[in-house]
A and B are shown apart, each in its own frame.
Chain A
Amino acid sequence: DQQVKQNSPSLSVQEGRISILNCDYTNSMFDYFLWYKKYPAEGPTFLISISSIKDKNEDGRFTVFLNKSAKHLSLHIVPSQPGDSAVYFCAVNPNYGGSQGNLIFGKGTKLSVKP
């Protein structure tokens, strides 16, 4: 059974508007979450992360929100730019305290930002 779910395979947004990518997880013990961006035929690029002691983390145009009670996190991109068009993966590090980096990824959401 999937432990990390990204239920929207794709999202299309107009340039300059907000992009909101969603992710749900099943295990309330998970306590560290990451977002990666991936272009075709390239490796994932780390974007932003959040630990469960926070509910928000911001880095430039990227903000991640964590709702622990709902086991839900979201990535907001404001303003969206055509270069943001890529597949975005939500990932969980399931062993944060004794982590070995065995990340669990969601299936990804393909974001298209139209000029």
Chain B
Amino acid sequence: DTEVTQTPKHLVMGMTNKKSLKCEQHMGHRAMYWYKQKAKKPPELMFVYSYEKLSINESVPSRFSPECPNSSLLNLHLHALQPEDSALYLCASSQDQIVLFFGSGTQLSVL
């Protein structure tokens, strides 16, 4: 089983809203990731959690706030986003931190 589950699949929010993206994996993987992908661009790393601790933050604006409540769950809290933040947000997990397994993503539109 290599499934990473992300909810919701689609999200539309205004610039003053607060919302959260959720990610879950039950493969016992020790690392979880948030990537962002704009249309016709490659995925770009945002955050890495290893053993539930934040190990990489790729200079992401503070309007994106990650949270890892336990080894199976990863959240991304969104607040005061801008229209240019509209993108596909991908969660991934990995046991060896070499090969990553991605979820289907949340397509976010900021109005």
Complex Cα–Cα for A34 and B94 (A): 14
Task: Say whether A25 faces chain B, with CB atoms less than 8 Å apart.
Answer: no
Within 8 Å CB of B44, what residues of A? 105
Knowing A43-B90, A44-B43 touch, does A102 contact B48 (C-beta < 8 A)? Answer: yes
**Interface residue range, chain A:** 20 to 34
**B91, chain A: closest CB distance, angstroms:** 8
Chain B residues closer than 8 Å to A89, beta-carbon distance:
42-43
Mark A49-90 against chain B: 1 for CB-CB distance below 8 A, else 0: 100000000000000000000000000000000000000010
Residues of B near A93 (CB, < 8 A) are 98
Per DSSP, chain B at the interface is strand
Contact B56 A100 (CB under 8 A): yes
Asked if A101 is an interface residue, CB under 8 A from chain B, the answer is: yes
What residues of chain B lie closer than 8 Å to A114, measured between beta carbons? none
Top 7 A-B pairs, shortest CB-CB distance = A43-B102, A105-B42, A101-B97, A99-B97, A44-B102, A101-B94, A43-B104
A-B contact pairs, 22 of them (CB 8 A): A41-B105, A42-B104, A43-B4, A43-B90, A43-B104, A44-B43, A44-B90, A44-B102, A46-B100, A46-B101, A46-B102, A89-B42, A99-B98, A100-B55, A101-B33, A101-B98, A101-B100, A103-B43, A105-B42, A105-B43, A106-B42, A107-B40
